[in-house]
């Protein structure tokens, strides 16, 4: 799979989730919209975890830069969750190129999905 194909797949996957949530909000089923947002968030984090396992990330702890690829899914899940929430501790970081694009796109999707979650909860509380 080429880098451009992977990048397009990532963007399409994120946009489809956003459309699902907006559709549910327009139809008035706010509880289902909240569940959809939570499911989409978990799905995207797991999707990026698998992508990071494929392209690799770097472990920068203890002053040693070593590549993590195809071996440590827990580290990739941790990196994905930290990137999603835009915390960025700095212990793990993306390699150049595709993994940097993936990290940036995941952070942007994290902002969007967190906004959708807050909007879904707000609509549910105020019963608009």
Pull the structure tokens for residue 106. Answer: 């995941």
Domain boundaries, the chain: 3-126
Contact 80, 45 (CB under 8 A): yes
| CATH code of the domain made up of 3-126 | 1.10.287.70
Q: Which of 10-19, 28-37, 45-54 has the highest mean pLDDT?
A: 45-54
pLDDT band at 31 (very low <50, low <70, confident <90, very high): confident
- Comparing 29 with 40, the larger pLDDT belongs to 40
Give, in degrees to the nearest 5, the angle at Cα 18 between 25 and 128.
20
- Comparing 95 with 63, the larger pLDDT belongs to 95
Rounded to whole angstroms, how far apart are CA atoms 107 and 51? 14
pLDDT band at 100 (very low <50, low <70, confident <90, very high): confident
> Would the pLDDT of 115 be above 80?
yes
Q: Is 39 helix (H, G, I), strand (E, B) or coil?
A: helix
Pull the structure tokens for residue 114. Answer: 């967190």
- Comparing 126 with 67, the larger pLDDT belongs to 67
pTM: 0.72
Contact 94, 100 (CB under 8 A): yes
Pull the structure tokens for residue 121. Answer: 């909860």
């Amino acid at each position: 799979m080429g880098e451009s194909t992977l990048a397009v797949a990532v963007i399409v996957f994120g946009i489809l989730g956003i459309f699902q949530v907006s559709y549910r909000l327009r139809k008035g089923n706010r509880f289902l919209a909240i569940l959809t947002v939570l499911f989409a968030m978990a799905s995207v984090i797991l999707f990026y975890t698998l992508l990071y396992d494929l392209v690799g990330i770097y472990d920068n702890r203890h002053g040693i830069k070593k590549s993590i690829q195809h071996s440590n899914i827990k580290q990739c899940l941790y990196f994905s969750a930290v990137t999603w929430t835009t915390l960025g501790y700095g212990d793990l970081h993306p390699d150049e190129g595709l993994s940097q694009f993936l990290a940036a796109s995941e952070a942007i999707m994290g902002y969007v999905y967190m906004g959708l979650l807050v909007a879904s909860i707000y609509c549910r509380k105020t019963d608009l």
